[in-house]
Amino acid sequence: MKLQVIGDPVLHSKSSVIHGAMLGLLGLDVPYTAHVVRRGELPDYLRWARDNGVTGFNATMPHKEDLLPLLDGIDPAAQTVGAVNTVCLRDGKWIGFSTDGGGAVAALEDGLGIGPAGLTVALLGAGGAAKAVALALAQAGAARVYVCNRTLARAEELCAHDPLGRLAPAAFDVDTLTALAETSQLLVNCTNLGMAGCDHQFEDFSFLEALPRDAAVFDAIYHPAETELLSQARRRGLKTLNGLPMLVNQAVLALEHFLDRPLERPAMAEAATAALNYN
Ligand code: NAP
């Protein structure tokens, strides 16, 4: 058994550290390595991987969508998201899964004790992460997820994928965010704003004032550990969570797919987090 993470770029990926820690905890001597695969090289990679004993891999940019037509089977959740980040060889067939959304839901439960059932959520962004998180929240029972995006058409397109009709597109201006915050118990940032290396920042954090006092703010970003959004929310007395538990939990779910068995999730997440803090 061999596991990999593929992408371009990929050598900066934390996946090897996370999976190495979890495999170590399980006492499994399974290599997990990063492998540069450029756009257009996926068919060659799939052939090479099969011939060289690779039984599963994680995929990052630019492959999450390009893999879909090349696989033999796709998990229904990944089909709805339109992207895969985990691929397993099962009975000689490549099967794709998406664990980003499930990782976010698990992170909210672990980190904030929040279950999505019945929640109204203001979710910022409509890119790949937003789509996975919004659909997973809807699937997990959120009553309403407002998908607020700078490019409204992209939010509308995302919401059109929701088979449950729980997603609603919205604008990204401060008046809209303020109005939606008033009725939301959870605000989730899935934009790049505040991420290390991103030149842009929220122009105005006043929408945080409108959130109920017991609301929580979850930022999918994990670098820096506390974005300006989370800092502003914390100073207003709101509960906060960064993106590290999402990163770790999506990897735990991926390893469950690779090994095709349930794992002791809190222990796995703890080992992975400790390894990340050390590396
Ligand atoms: P993406 O597909 O490129 O989407 C980026 C989103 O940010 C879009 O909604 C985009 O809006 C918005 N945006 C970018 N610049 C903006 C600005 N100046 N003002 C307002 N909105 C802006 O990226 P992604 O893959 O979804 O990643 C989004 C974030 O999630 C990143 O910070 C990433 O680090 C984080 N993430 C975390 C995890 C985790 O495991 N914790 C996993 C995946 C991603 P437009 O549509 O208008 O361009």
Span 208-249, pLDDT tens digits: 999 999 999 999 999 999 999 999 999 999 999 999 999 999
Measured in Å, residue 165 CA sits from the centre of ligand 1 at 23
Mutation test residue for ligand 1: of 159, 190, 276, the one with most atoms within 8 Å of CB:
190
64 is catalytic: yes
- Residues of the chain with pLDDT > 70, as a percent, come to 100
Nearest alpha carbon, ligand 1 atom 22: 191
Mean pLDDT score of the chain, rounded to an integer? Answer: 96
Q: Which residues, 6+ apart, have CB-to-CB distance to 233 below 8 Å?
A: 187, 208, 217, 240
Q: In angstroms, rounded to a whole number, what is the distance separating the alpha carbons of residues 77 and 92?
A: 22
pLDDT for position 279: 72
Q: In angstroms, rounded to a whole number, what is the distance separating the alpha carbons of residues 74 and 80?
A: 10
Contact yes or no for 218/189 (Cβ under 8 A): yes
The secondary structure element, H or E, covering residue 4 is strand 2-7
- The confidence band for 278, taking pLDDT boundaries of 50, 70 and 90, is confident
- For the cut 90, the answer to whether the pLDDT of residue 27 exceeds it is yes
Residues at CB less than 6 angstroms from ligand 1: 100, 125-130, 149-151, 154, 172, 190-193, 195, 200, 220-222, 243, 246-247, 250
Q: Taking CA 92 as the corner, what is the angle to CA 91 and CA 98, rounded to the nearest 5 degrees?
A: 85
